[in-house]
Amino acid sequence: MSMKTDSDYIWQHLAALPVFRALIRSIEHHLLADYKPFPAPILDVGAGDGHFAAAALGPFVDVGVDVSLASLREAQQHQVYHHLLSSSATDLPFPTESFATVISNCVIEHIPDLTATLAEMYRTLRPGGILLLTVPTNQLERNLIIPRILRGLRLYAIADAYIAWFRRVQVHYHLLSREHWVEALTDRGFHVMTHRGYMSVRATQFNELWHYAGWPNVLSRRLTGRWVIWAWRPRFFLIVRLLRKFVNEPEHTDDSCLFLVARKP
């Protein structure tokens, strides 16, 4: 088990990401830390820009795949992956039973063909191999604060339009219930060992509202290529204290996201 404190998890992400993204990544980092060291070789499906792997999965990950060449170029700079490949998760370019661990952090909900994605993860895992997944659930959109306010004002059509816009911006194809996520893995042959909810209603609403407060980060990213220009830890003292409360929250039945650990028999 990792000996890092909650503040350490948070700072690794807050120093490089907007607050809203640092929140969810800190919680996921905390959840995954209990399963380190991951059995090798390790495949990261949806490597993205490599930040999360460098912070939470390293020091080394055998292979990372992503469909975005721009993201893979960024991931290369973190020097955490031994190999990076451009590939769809629905057609992984690896022999059967290549990996002991497959990790995918908030990725598969963005891929239209969920069945093919899970089938490829199963195929490339060795017998006894571990799958670690984080995904949003159908509670996510129910927990958003702006639609709640709009419905309270009886602006139902605007609330529905906001949710449709939010789903489109987030590129969410699959927002399943906890039970249906477990069923999706079981149907593909996995044995789900454990699952745990995260991102409470309060955390979700904080995350939602901080999306709109993050415009300076967006501007910084466009001008400098970095989300955060001045990563001076004392400047983020209050934010770290606030995020720590969310990282330490217990599980709730209406959490917006789900962490699953499954094994290939």
User: What pLDDT is attached to residue 8?
Assistant: 83
User: What pLDDT is attached to residue 4?
Assistant: 63
Show the domain range for 159.
139-171
- What's the average model confidence in pLDDT over 256-261? 98
Q: Does 249 share its domain with 207?
A: yes
- What's the average model confidence in pLDDT over 26-31? 96
User: What pLDDT is attached to residue 90?
Assistant: 98
Instruction: Say if residues 106 and 45 touch (Cβ distance below 8 Å).
Output: no
Q: Does 153 share its domain with 200?
A: no
Instruction: Flag whether 205 is in a domain.
Output: yes
Q: Does 34 share its domain with 119?
A: yes
Q: Does 70 share its domain with 152?
A: no
Q: Does 92 share its domain with 162?
A: no
pLDDT digits (tens, 9 = 90+) for 112-137: 999 999 999 999 999 999 999 999 99
Instruction: Flag whether 15 is in a domain.
Output: yes
CATH number of the domain that 38 lies in?
A: 3.40.50.150
Q: Does 78 share its domain with 35?
A: yes
Q: Does 206 share its domain with 116?
A: yes
User: What pLDDT is attached to residue 9?
Assistant: 84
Q: Does 18 share its domain with 130?
A: yes
Instruction: Say if residues 138 and 204 touch (Cβ distance below 8 Å).
Output: no
Lowest mean pLDDT among 125-139, 167-181, 197-211, 217-231: 217-231
Q: Does 43 share its domain with 113?
A: yes
Q: CA–CA distance from 189 to each of 101, 192, 245 (Å)?
A: 16, 9, 37
Q: Predicted confidence band at 3 (pLDDT cuts at 50, 70, 90)? A: low
Instruction: Identify the CA nearest to 257 among candidates 185, 197, 175.
Output: 197
Q: Does 179 share its domain with 239?
A: yes
pLDDT digits (tens, 9 = 90+) for 183-214: 999 999 999 999 999 999 999 999 999 999 99
DSSP 28-64: HHHHHHTTPSPPSSEEEE--TTSHHIIIII-S-EEEE
Instruction: Say if residues 202 and 246 touch (Cβ distance below 8 Å).
Output: yes
Instruction: Flag whether 206 is in a domain.
Output: yes
Check pLDDT > 80 for residue 19: yes
Instruction: Identify the CA nearest to 75 among candidates 63, 88, 87, 91.
Output: 63
Check pLDDT > 60 for residue 1: no
Q: What is the mean pLDDT of the chain?
A: 95
Q: Does 188 share its domain with 101?
A: yes
Q: Does 36 share its domain with 166?
A: no
Instruction: Flag whether 1 is in a domain.
Output: no
Instruction: Identify the CA nearest to 102 among candidates 123, 130, 67, 66.
Output: 130
DSSP 141-187: HHH-HHHHHHHHTT-HHHHHHHHHHHHHHHT-S--B-HHHHHHHHHH
Instruction: Say if residues 143 and 204 touch (Cβ distance below 8 Å).
Output: yes
Domain count, the chain: 2
User: What pLDDT is attached to residue 2?
Assistant: 44
Lowest mean pLDDT among 84-88, 104-108, 159-163, 223-227: 223-227
Check pLDDT > 70 for residue 64: yes
